[in-house]
Structure 1
Amino acid sequence: MLSQDQRPPQPKADGFFEGENMLRMVASAIVRLSQQSGPGDPVYDATVQNTYNQLVLLCLGKGHAPPGSVPEMVRWAAERSIGEWPWTLPEDFDGASAFLVDELTRTPTQQCWEWRIAARDVAAEQVENQLMLEAISECRAARAPASYTAFRKLLISKPVLTDAERVALGDDLDLELLHDVIKRCYDPVPASYVREGVYAVCARCGCLLVPIGRDRYVCELDRCRRDQHTRVGRRVEARRSGLYQLNRPLRMFITGPGLAETDLEAELSRRGVRVEMWPNFDAYDLRITLPRGRVWAVDVKDRANPALLGRSALPLRSDPLYDEGFLVAPQYRFDEREDYGRVYARHRTDAPGVPDLISDTELLARVDRELARSQRNTADRDTVGGAADA
């Protein structure tokens, strides 16, 4: 038997290739693989191959059996939660329920996309820097805020377009300015969404449903996946019309949160509250004018990981002015994770002015309290005025 000094050195991963850095690398590799239309030459690009190599080293250095190939690494991502991989993460990341690949659709999850981004703002890095900021720039130059608002509403309300609907957008005067940008937002739909010659659209969010097996559909958006029974809205025959859908980052980081934004707009309007959407070319998402002229600014985020949300949080822009600002997440995120708000607070950046996080349900409750207070004050003034007249 060899003595300890005579044994060959064991492979050891560099300290950088551990924990969050390694998780981010694996997430990036999985997203890159999902965007590949077919085998390349070499089969895997340098980013994917290097990630796999470093994962193998990490496993061997920690005494774990590594995945035997890149496809097996992807299988790990579908079958092992991020807490079961041989890396070390902060306890409050709650890796027990988070997977990088959806076991049903075999596509990257929202968690995977969020981890993939090293920048502070997921939507800005993936979408806004490329397409959204281009839209803002063009609308600013033309002094056309209505065009930007119409563009945002299009991405939220119509994530899927037939060829005829796509062509008809050219007749919309508000969208005419951004026709080229819109074309680049939508991609042709791959055949994987077709079942028996038909595409199915989610009745709740308007995105395409993924067919599973013979008779089941699932939606890719987290907000819809919570429903036990996915509802099919319209159906589109594949042979009759070409079909286009927003690219995946736009569906995830614009359409998803956008539905929460427009739901809030509808609820506030029902209460008689004046709401401006995406003021000053998206300074924030909702500008709410309350009785007595108080103004609240609201930014809506729909993130799977509250720790990453906290790290990416920034102060709201100050133009247009407001009295109080809020960061809002859909209530279902708090229902899924009881500690969602606390984890956000622990990881929130130290920059001054970063807003507190509340749910959309809590925001509406605060608005209701403001309205009730205003009504009481009005009633008290009427009472005093009536007594003075008497």
Structure 2
Amino acid sequence: MTEFEAQLVEKSGAPAVRWKSHAAAWMGVSRPTLDAYLAHASVGNLEQIPKAVLEMLGLLPEQTASQPKPPSVEEMVLSFAVGLVALQDEIDTHGYPRAPYPTHLQRGLDVASILKCLDGSEYPVTLADLLGVAGKPLYEWCQKLDGPVSDEFYAARLLENFEITRDCLALAERGQQDSEHVFYQAVMDCCEELGSAGQELYEAWRRTVVEVPVASGYTQLLGRHPIFMRQIGVAQRLIDTFYVRMPPVHAEAGKVLLCPSTGTRLRRVGGKLITELRDDSAQRALDMQGPKAIDYTPDVLELRRPARLFWSLPGWHEIKLMESAQQLGWEVDLWPKLDTVDLVIRKKGNAKRFAVDVKDHISAQGLARSFKRFRDYKTHVRFVVIPDYLKVLNPDYIKVFTRARASLGKEKVDLLTVSELLKLLKKAEK
């Protein structure tokens, strides 16, 4: 029985016997006309049947099109992430959010309202509600989130101290252009353009974005390394890609207040100055030393937020590890071969060499999923290294990472904290 026949029998209420006569009478057509319709339907030629007849049976294309999927928790979370990134851009630029809400933020709130109506879930349905929960791990307020997003981000926070996190950016970029990759590709294009001088440019630029997240202007950045002055056009392209002029709203009494550890711009939360770096050591240094300050002028440049979160702050840990290893008498190559690893640690006369990637991921599962593998250095002892504070926050971080790698069928990787690696280096020097 074709779908046409099935719908005709169902809607006309035709009996099992002599159903065609009953159906023809219900439709108001003759039996020969109905037989013609049935013949067309049997070979799929519904376009030969009048639209009015198809509409009676609910068989018009627009009536049979698949219904849209109901909104999901994943759609809500991704919409919140994209919306919060857009909202953060508004605040960074103007100092306050402008009306109306960003489209994706409103969509997330709408989806939350629908889900609440459907199953009574207590999701945030206002911006105030969202700000109240977005600083908590997703698993605390999105228990029904599942699939790859949950696997990677279940412990992620969208906000920290009411500003977006790297995880929020990463969530917002799923299915969109990856801003971390955009910055990386911009640097790689410039390095390729310079040929043999590419490695020199790469190292100089990486150190610049780590050590000068806020600059007084182009002159300070161009003067950081001789290669910038030799290749001034390339350097200016990189500056324009990574940096943006700082709006005056971020100055206090004509000064820009900076973190004494990282050099990033400080912000006030409840009257207290807060640094963007999650590591407690940076906040302790700020509390003890107070902020650094530079004069605000319209020429002041600041790293764009994704560049700070994906490049500058993680790079701070890489440079600190390099300095600690050097203090122990080891030689360190930083970002060798255009960053195939973060550090190669070696010592003349010592057979052991270490290849290290430093990762500052709040989620052990997220790191397990995102870290692919070491591409080289098979003759080296290879480690992924995390800042100590991550293990303080989650004592089972390494165990969770190892189990997650195994469950994903990924190559086994040894994970250490910075302190554990430094202890290993002390033993290896004997």
* Cα distance, 1:87 vs structure 2: 3.5
Q: Name the counterpart of 1:133.
A: 185
Identity of aligned residues (%): 23
Instruction: Report the Cα offset of residue 146 of structure 1.
Output: 1.0
Whether the 8 Å contact between 2:346 and 2:353 is mirrored in structure 1 is yes
Residue 72 (1) aligns with residue 72 (2): no
- Describe the SS at the equivalent of 2:261: coil
Give 1:114 deviation, angstroms: 4.2
Q: Give the match for residue 253 of structure 1.
A: 310
Letter in structure 1 aligned against 2:352: R
Equivalent position amino acid for 2:169 in 1: W
Moved more, 181-190 or 273-282: 181-190
- 1:159 is aligned, of 186, 203, 213, to 213
Which position in structure 2 is the counterpart of 1:173?
226
Backbone CA RMSD of aligned residues: 3.3
Cα offset, 1:197, TM superposition: 2.6
Query: Which residue of structure 2 aligns with residue 294 of structure 1?
Result: 352
TM-aligned CA deviation for residue 131 of structure 1:
2.0
Partner of 1:366: 424
2:100 is equivalent to residue 49 of structure 1 = no
- Structure 1 pair 345–140 and aligned structure 2 pair: CA distance change class (3 A): same
Tell me what 1:17 maps to: 72
Q: Is the 8 A contact 1:313 1:354 kept in 2?
A: no
1:266-305 to 2 correspondence within 5 Å? 266-290=323-347, 291-305=349-363
Corresponding residue for residue 381 of structure 1: none
Secondary structure in 2 matching 1:236: strand
Moved more, 184-193 or 221-230: 221-230
> For 1:335 and 1:41, how far apart are their aligned partners in 2?
39
- Whether 2:320 is the aligned partner of 1:263: answer yes
1:328 equivalent in structure 2: 385
Distance 1:174 1:101, change over 3 A: same
Tell me by how many angstroms 1:286 deviates. Answer: 0.4
Kindly provide the amino acid, as one letter, of the partner of residue 23 in structure 1: V
CA distance in 1: counterparts of 2:392 and 2:123, whole angstroms: 35
Judging by fraction of residues, say which structure has more helix: 2
Confirm or deny: 8 A CA contact 2:183 2:307 kept in the other structure. no
Show the counterpart of 1:356.
414
Q: Specify which of 368, 376, 388 is matched with residue 310 of structure 1.
A: 368
Q: Which residue of 2 aligns with 1:227?
A: 283
- Post-superposition shift, 1:254? 1.2
Alignment partner, residue 116 of structure 1: 172
Matched to 1:32, the amino acid is A
Pair 1:355–1:118, CA change in 2 (3 A): farther
1:204 maps to 2:261: yes
Q: Secondary structure at the match of 1:35?
A: helix
Quick one: structure 1 residues 187 and 63, their matched pair in 2 at CA, closer, same or farther if it must change by over 3 Å? same
Quote the Cα distance in structure 2 between the aligned partners of 1:74 and 1:321: 47
Change (3 A) 1:366 1:225: closer
1:186 is the counterpart of 2:240:
no
Measure the CA separation in 1 of the matches of 2:391 and 2:97: 42
**CA 1:266–1:337: 2 relative to 1, 3 Å:** same
Q: Distance in 1 between matches of 2:380 and 2:158?
A: 40
Offset, 1:333: 0.7
Quote the Cα distance in structure 2 between the aligned partners of 1:225 and 1:57. Answer: 43
Tell me: CA distance 1:76–1:159, structure 2 relative to 1, closer, same or farther (3 Å): same
Q: Does 1:26 align with 2:80?
A: yes
Which gives a bigger RCO, structure 1 or 2 (Cα 8 Å, sep 6+)?
1
Structure 1: give runs of 5+ residues left out of the alignment.
1-12, 373-390
TM-score, with structure 1 as normaliser: 0.77
Which runs of 5 or more residues in structure 2 are unaligned?
A: 1-67
Q: 1:31 is matched by which residue type in structure 2?
A: V
**In structure 2, distance between residues paired with 1:343 and 1:89:** 19
SS in 2 for 1:205: coil
Q: How many angstroms apart in 2 are the aligned matches of 1:330 and 1:284?
A: 16
CA–CA distance in structure 2, aligned partners of residues 47 and 205 of structure 1? 32
Per-residue CA distance 1:220-275 (angstroms, 9 max, x = gap): 2212587355343421232x563211111111121111111111111111122121
Greater shift after overlay, 175-184 or 278-287? Answer: 175-184
Number of residue pairs aligned between Structure 1 and Structure 2: 346
Q: Deviations over 1:169-214 (max 9, x none)?
A: 3354222343311222111223443223321111111111113455
Partner Cα separation in structure 2 for residue 27 and residue 322 of structure 1: 41
Deviation by residue 1:96-154 (Cα, 9 ceiling, x = unmatched):
8x642234xx32134433443437xx9x9322x21222212321332211111000000
> How far does residue 342 in structure 1 lie from its aligned partner after superposition?
1.7
The 1:52–1:322 alpha-carbon spacing in structure 2 relative to 1, beyond 3 Å, is farther
Evaluate the alpha carbon distance shift between residue 357 and residue 15 of structure 1 in structure 2; reply closer, same or farther with a 3 A threshold: farther
Q: Which has the larger radius of gyration?
A: 2
Amino acid at match of 1:258: G
Please say if residues 355 and 383 of structure 2, whose CA atoms lie closer than 8 Å, have aligned partners that are also in contact. yes
Contact persistence 2:222–2:235 (CA under 8 A)? no
| Cα separation, 2, equivalents of 1:286 and 1:94 | 27
Amino acid aligned to 2:310:
F
The 1:193–1:41 alpha-carbon spacing in structure 2 relative to 1, beyond 3 Å, is: closer
Q: State how far apart, in whole Å, the 2-side matches of 1:79 and 1:280 are.
A: 38
Measured in 2, the distance between the counterparts of 1:47 and 1:200 equals 32
Q: CA deviation at 1:326?
A: 1.0
Describe the SS at the equivalent of 1:293: coil
The Cα of 1:89 is off from its aligned counterpart by: 5.1
AA matched with 1:138: C
In 2, Cα distance between equivalents of 1:352 and 1:102: 30
**Cα distance between partner residues in 1 of 2:389 and 2:422:** 15
